Amino acid sequence: MALGAAPGAPAAPDPRGGGPAELLTELQRLHRELGEATETYQATSRSLTEQRDRNRRLGAGLVKARAALAEGRDAAGQFARRQYQGVVEVSPTLRLLLAADAQGALDQEHVLRRAARDRVATVARLTSAERRASQLARESRAALDREQVLAARQRTEREAARGKLDEVESLISALSPEQLAEVEGVEAERGEEAQRELVAAGGLSTTGAVPTRRGERAVRFAVEQIGKPYVWGAEGPDSYDCSGLTSQAWQTAGAQVPRTSQEQWAELPRVPLRDLRPGDLVVYFPKATHVALYLGDGLVVQAPRPGAKVKVSPLAANPVLGAVRPDPDGAPVPVYEPPELPEGAREGADTGYRDEEAPAE
């Protein structure tokens, strides 16, 4: 895995005390907690990146504001020097009375008035520049404070997620091959049963839906990743986590989608399960902590969990929260040939959770 054990991570439960169902329940609980911790960490990481971008923009604005302030001060200084050197304004009436040439006096008055206007404008610019520089300096200090808070929170949440990851990996590594096979068998049975119930209730159509052109590219990309390992936080090309797979599939197809499953659920348009088409994203659990890409015919491509590989599973292998569509305005392709699945695409455990075991709000 890409990440090592977190310092002080709790020891994995002893798997020898329960049967396959109990072991599966414990594994699923840890995996749900890992998903929630991961979503929290990634959201903070993204906020930190955005804050740093804002800080850079504020810093650039502050540099410009200070340059404008220096320019304004220089102009004001020039006016001050001219006054000191004896350029004293005389009233227009007195100049007309004293001048030998009335027209020359009027011309001089025009020049002086323009100079006065320039002086007023210079003072106004200087005042505005001082206010702007002062405001940006305050905003920059506050922004830097927010960045430090987010960076500290990110470190804490990263360690929490790494601790959960270590628990999941420790439990899996403690299982014998026989125990793991039994757990996977129970898991697969639950997923198939949930799938049959969903279809029977009319909540899912398994008839051949047609993707958009981008959806087709996303599906083919996801299928090409089958067999690559799940790695926490990975987004390819050699390994993926659940939302790393779905976001990269759509990015390869030419569409930007949010990075995490919670953001994908929150920001992309919703679509009913009965209207799913290949390429749509299926989101799982009340907190939207898992996501898969719809393949068609009631199947999804997913990066299930630590210790597993990208694979094809029944859509209902996890408790479904709903589905979203990254390209709601895309037109269906005129002819669609589903990609051929590689051998062993459905081998290994699904992450099927019974409804009573789904993560609580």
Query: pLDDT for 86-142, tens place per residue?
Result: 554 544 544 444 445 545 544 555 555 665 565 566 666 667 777 777 777 777 778
Q: What is the model's pLDDT at position 16?
A: 45
Q: Distance between terminal CA atoms of the chain?
A: 29
CA distance 166 to 180: 18
Instruction: Decide if 353 contacts 318 (C-beta within 8 A).
Output: yes
In the predicted model, residues of the chain with pLDDT beneath 50 are 1-16, 88, 90-91, 93-99, 102, 105-106, 349-361
Q: Which of 294, 295, 311, 346 is nearest to 226 (CA)?
A: 311
Q: Which residues are CB-neighbours of 83 under 8 A, at least 6 positions away? A: none
Q: What is the model's pLDDT at position 72?
A: 64
CA distance 177 to 302: 23
Q: What is the model's pLDDT at position 243?
A: 93
Q: What is the model's pLDDT at position 281?
A: 98
Q: What is the model's pLDDT at position 86?
A: 52
* Residue 282, beta-bridge partner list: 292, 323
Instruction: Decide if 40 contacts 157 (C-beta within 8 A).
Output: yes
Q: What is the model's pLDDT at position 322?
A: 94
Q: What is the model's pLDDT at position 104?
A: 53
Q: What is the model's pLDDT at position 308?
A: 85
CA distance 292 to 324: 11
Q: Which of 48, 68, 328, 340 is nearest to 220 (CA)?
A: 340
Residue type, 227: G
| pTM > 0.95: yes or no | no
